[in-house]
Structure 1
Amino acid sequence: MLKKTVSGLALSALLLASGSAVAAEYKMDKEGQHAFIQFRIQHLGYSWLYGSFKDFDGRFTFDEKNPAADKVEVTINTQSLDTHHAERDKHLRSADFLNVARYPQATFVSTSVKPHGEGLDITGDLTLNGVTHPVTLVAKKVGEGKDPWGGWRAGFEASGKFALKDFNIKKDLGPSSQEVELILSVEGIRQ
């Protein structure tokens, strides 16, 4: 279930969250490790269990003056789930949760971007565990500008949540663990 949240939603939301002065397409900085898809879920209602997806890729467009035209697409290798505990990761990759043998990728494709306060609401179709369901991320632009290598970058943070049952994850982890929270941080390089 943690994989679901991290997968497409987090990255997509972050990228679309804020705007730049000029409409442009950005590729997530995967090689430079300036993009992160993280998730958390309560453990027994006593603490938080954190994890991330280590292998993903994505693109987004950003137009500060016309956010409705923005698009986000993210693909996540669900096998790359990492909670810093090998046995737990093995279980989360199993058919009880993400079923990575059958569904090796999760995707997020935005369907709308709307201004909301100082940020953006990015709604899109998250496909995880063979199920597609709409998810909304709340995103904000962290900053944008020239980088030391002559390029232009834009960075976003986003968050959201979804219910495990919405993605056919039937394993019951207790009443405090029905939803997964996404925490995203993405830096894109203008193409």
Structure 2
Amino acid sequence: MLKKTFAALALGTALFTAGQVMAADYKIDKEGQHAFIDWKVSHLGYSFIHGTFKDWDGTFSWDSAKPQDSKISVDVKTASLWSNHAERDKHIASKDFLDVSKFADAKFVSTAVKPTGDKTADVTGDLTFHGVTKPVTFKATFNGEGKDPWGGERAGFNATTTLDLKDFGIKLPGDVAQTAQLDISLEGVKQK
């Protein structure tokens, strides 16, 4: 009798989970250079400085049937900032701004995904940057998913947000907008 009960429980569990689609786990394709964290800040109100972070990594889980169950985690090495000008990069990395020797890592961990359209969502999470953790919301767009030429499966997204740098203890010189715009493009490889 006990064996039949266990067999029935096992069969019931198998049938129940077979009908559920589970979110898949993806590793952001850093090695293939199919992921970017680009930034833009005002330069004295006259122009914009554009740059990127070259060293970062992360993972996400994704289920197109239940985007609200998605999650993402990203780690950035702040010393990897690059703006195509070595002296400026040293200045941005210095204690005057990012102080990368003291705050070597920035991290974003999602806490909620709220679909806003067929392929769009607000992704909210905790951003730890310059030693401060604050909630931040990214406007995200799902670009697509499917097989790649190498036998894997991929999914890709874009996301943008504007950070108030004063919230993170960073002050830009002059009387200009104290913001940084982030534009993230990422492609993840499904983990098996």
Match of 1:146 in 2: 147
Q: Counterpart amino acid of 1:74?
A: V
Q: How many residues align?
A: 170
Match of 2:80 in 1: 80
Answer 1 or 2: higher relative contact order, Cα 8 Å, separation at least 6.
Answer: 1
Q: Counterpart amino acid of 2:175?
A: P
Partners of 2:132 and 2:96 in 1: CA distance: 14
**TM-score between the two structures when normalised by the length of structure 1:** 0.85
Pairing 1:174–2:166 present: no
Once the two structures are TM-superposed, the CA of residue 177 in structure 1 deviates from its matched residue by: 2.9
| CA deviation string 1:45-67 (max 9, x = no partner) | 22211000000000001112222
Match of 1:134 in 2: 135
Match of 1:125 in 2: 126
Q: Is the 8 A contact 1:147 1:153 kept in 2?
A: yes
Structure 2 residues without counterparts, runs of 5 or longer: 1-20
Q: Is the 8 A contact 1:22 1:64 kept in 2?
A: no
- Deviation above 6 Å: which 4+ runs of structure 1? none
Once the two structures are TM-superposed, the CA of residue 99 in structure 1 deviates from its matched residue by: 1.0
Pairing 1:105–2:105 present: yes
Once the two structures are TM-superposed, the CA of residue 166 in structure 1 deviates from its matched residue by: 0.7
Q: Is the 8 A contact 1:28 1:186 kept in 2?
A: yes
Once the two structures are TM-superposed, the CA of residue 94 in structure 1 deviates from its matched residue by: 1.0
Q: Is the 8 A contact 1:142 1:157 kept in 2?
A: yes
Match of 1:41 in 2: 41
Match of 2:64 in 1: 64
Once the two structures are TM-superposed, the CA of residue 22 in structure 1 deviates from its matched residue by: 5.9
Partners of 1:36 and 1:133 in 2: CA distance: 22
Match of 1:115 in 2: 115
**Residue 68 of structure 1 aligns to a residue in which SS?**
helix
Pairing 1:190–2:180 present: no
Match of 1:11 in 2: none
